[in-house]
Amino acid sequence: MLLRKWAVFAITWHRQLQVLNNSDKIWQVKDDPSSASWLAGKVGISKLLATLLIHRKVSAPDAAQSFLFPKLGALRDPFLFMDMDRAVELITTCVRNQKRITIYGDYDADGITATALLVDFFSRLEAPISFYIPHRLEEGYSLNEAAIRKIAAGDTELIITVDCGISSPSEIDLAKSLGLEVVVTDHHQLPAHFEPRCPTINPFRPDCSFPFQGLSGVGLAFYLTIAIRADLRESGFFGSKGEPDLRPYLDLVALGTVADIVPLLEENRILVKNGLSILRESQRPGIKELLRVSGINKDREITTYDIAFKLAPRLNAMGRLGSVTRAVQLLTTDNEKEAAEIAAHMDSLNTQRQTIENRILSEVRERIVRSDDLERQRTIVLSDPSWHRGIVGIVASKIVDEHYRPTLILEAEGELLRGSGRSIDGFDLYQALFDLSGLLKQFGGHGHAAGVTLEAKNLREFCKRFEELARKRIDPKDMAPKIDVDARLGLESINPRLLRELEMLPPFGDKNPQPIFWAGPLVVVFSKVVGNDHLKLRIKEKGITFDCIAFGKGAIHPLKGRSVDILFQVGTNTWQGIESIQLMIVDLKINPSDDA
């Protein structure tokens, strides 16, 4: 169903700019592509659906067919990745010779699911397997010397990294000097002057033939299992005992891929589309319990919204507030009692996370209100010793949503400030930090999100130069929040056929947002506040009426008799067993005239 509201991700297009005079957001209508009619005829779909596909950079008939009907058989060959053959040779040698493998993961949902997937896979191959994920606050991201020495002190022969390792050449060299083999699987951008120290599977390598660069860490891990299984099959390893079915791992792949906000196109669309079905029917005790504590009813379709806003935050809470070891155990255990205990603990940690987040957010908002500089400043940089480093990134994201400025929220700890930043379209946060790297001890990330460490004595100079960069690179008109609109749509065009076509577009996510349409002017014929300050409307155009829901908009009631323009998504509502089309309002403009 299209009932769930999904975050809107910006797509760069040549647009017709539309600014509504009583809205704080800019409504941007994407171009009407001239090739939409041609694509519609070739594929046998409506011009509107063809337009939506082209807006998602799906413009060829074969690509449209693949998008609308994603099949596992369309996944590309894993051996297109540079070094996949070398990695598989090292790994299968360990498997055949019963040498211990240690999976070195990351503490976010992508790293947790990737670690769990490989631990479970090698366990089913009856290979000696361990895992290690660094503590977020005590060790930080990726490989570190102490962890490498600890692993080397045991009986491990091979380290396989997931979701990390691409920026750890010295630690890889250390591991090799201690007698360990290393395979790196990492989907992040390559560091400057990258040179592989070991078999390194990364889609951004210039010598990589795999054409899609958007895989998550768990997606790369899944591709690794495909290649390993193929090699073992060819060598006769499985014999008469049967080879492992990889499809049940798609629940983990979907969970980690959606959580990491990678583009839900091409391989990711195939993996997530199929993975959502597996997730709903998953036999993993841990997944069952995670769904239960998250309040997700398996009697209905599970969506990317459920993952992004219910499942992933609970997994991430463990890494934000402590060790994620039990999160991996949750996803790999066969013990229902253990799964229930871990899931309950995870849910409790998520509640704690929400409490801490709300406190920090309240304090940050108060600091911003007290500041006299906000209207003049194009950036926000705030720090406090009481702000939890594992939570500040979420807070920075919400502040960007509210104030639409590049934002850094930092925890002050002694002489150091550590924290996270989020940015807006048009301002590359990673590049800005790179340009100011002389003032920083450490930084990493990408254009919209980054982590940073600096000495407290450099904060004033950093803030000054960060603001200077923003003034040079941010056009004032880019400092208003924007909503991308797929098309204008009259109410007469909204019907069951449209709904059926729109239901071919999920799973929604990055680069494939749920379509947003613009209708108006419309007349409001019914207005009522329902639930927790939500606004229920009935709108009318040319004798056609539809029910609408505007979440959190109760303050603008009553609207009966008023003329409005709305941005909306098309969904359904079921009441007393009867399903009907319902419009979910994303934004609303009250027109100055009552005429419609």
Q: What is the DSSP string of 29-56?
A: EEP--TTHHHHHHHHT--HHHHHHHHHT
Q: Are residue 528 and residue 432 in the same domain, yes or no? A: no
Give the pLDDT confidence score for residue 479 in this predicted structure: 84
The count of structural domains within the chain is 3
Q: What span, in angstroms and rounded, lies between the C-alpha atoms of 73 and 105?
A: 28
User: Are both 188 and 205 inside the same structural domain?
Assistant: yes
Torsion of CA 96, 98, 99, 102, to 10 degrees: 100
| Same domain (yes/no): 459, 489 | no
CB-based contacts of 188: which residues, under 8 Å, 6+ apart?
A: 163, 164, 166, 167, 202, 204
Residue 387 lies in a domain: yes
Q: Is 111 exposed, middle or buried (0-12, 13-18, 19+ CB in 10 A)?
A: buried
Q: Does one domain contain both 537 and 422?
A: no
Instruction: Output the pLDDT for position 191.
Output: 86
Same structural domain, 402 and 497:
no
164 occurs within a structural domain: yes
Helix runs in 125-265, H state only: 145-152, 169-177, 217-234, 250-259
Which value, to the nearest 10 degrees, does the dihedral of the CA atoms of residues 305, 311, 313, 314 take? 160
Q: If you search the block for the tokens 């940050």, which residue do you land on?
A: 364
- Residue finishing a domain among 452, 473, 494: 473
Q: Which of 443, 473, 503 is the last residue of a domain?
A: 473
How far is Cα of residue 120 from the mean position of the Cα atoms in its chain?
24
Contacts by 467-470 with C-beta closer than 8 Å and gap 24+? Answer: 467/377, 467/378, 467/379, 469/432, 469/435, 469/436, 470/378, 470/379, 470/405, 470/406, 470/427, 470/432
Instruction: Note whether 460 and 529 are same-domain residues.
Output: no
Q: Is 292 in the same domain as 337?
A: yes
Q: Are 90 and 201 in contact (CB under 8 A)?
A: no
Q: In this structure, which amino acid lies at residue 555?
A: A
- Beta strands at 407-413 and 380-384: parallel, antiparallel or unpaired: parallel
Q: Are 551 and 534 in contact (CB under 8 A)?
A: yes
396 shares its domain with 489: no
207 plus 320 within the same structural domain: yes
Distance, in Å, from the CA atom of 354 to the CA atom of 232, rounded to the nearest integer, reads 46
Residue-range definition of the domain harbouring residue 406: 379-473
Residues of the chain with pLDDT under 70: 1-23, 593-596
Structure-block tokens of residue 338: 């253990």
Q: Which two tokens stand for residue 93?
A: 């040698």
Give the model's pLDDT for residue 10. Answer: 28
DSSP letter string over 175-215? Answer: HHHTT-EEEEE--SPPPTT---SS-EE-TT-TT---S----
On whether both 456 and 312 belong to a single domain, the answer is no
Q: Report pLDDT for 23.
A: 55
pLDDT of residue 185: 98
Distance (Å, rounded) from C-alpha 81 to C-alpha 77? 8
Distance CA 240, CA 249 (A): 22
What's the CATH code of the domain at 468? Answer: 3.10.310.30
Whether 233 and 90 share a structural domain = yes
Of 282, 466, 458, the C-alpha closest to 381 is 466
Q: Which of 203, 210, 287 is nearest to 250 (CA)?
A: 287
Among candidate residues 473, 494, 521, the one where a domain is terminated: 473
Q: Is 73 helix (H, G, I), strand (E, B) or coil?
A: helix
**Would the pTM of this model clear 0.85, i.e. be above it?**
yes
Per the DSSP assignment, residues forming a β-bridge with 27 are 18, 483
Rounded distance, CA 403 to CA 218, Å?
33
pLDDT, position 6? 32
Instruction: Copy the structure tokens of residue 559.
Output: 């609207």
> Does the residue 5 lie in any domain?
no
The pair phi, psi for residue 28, each rounded to 5°, is -115, 115
| Average pLDDT of the residues of the chain | 92
Q: Do 303 and 154 belong together in one domain?
A: yes
pLDDT of residue 478: 80
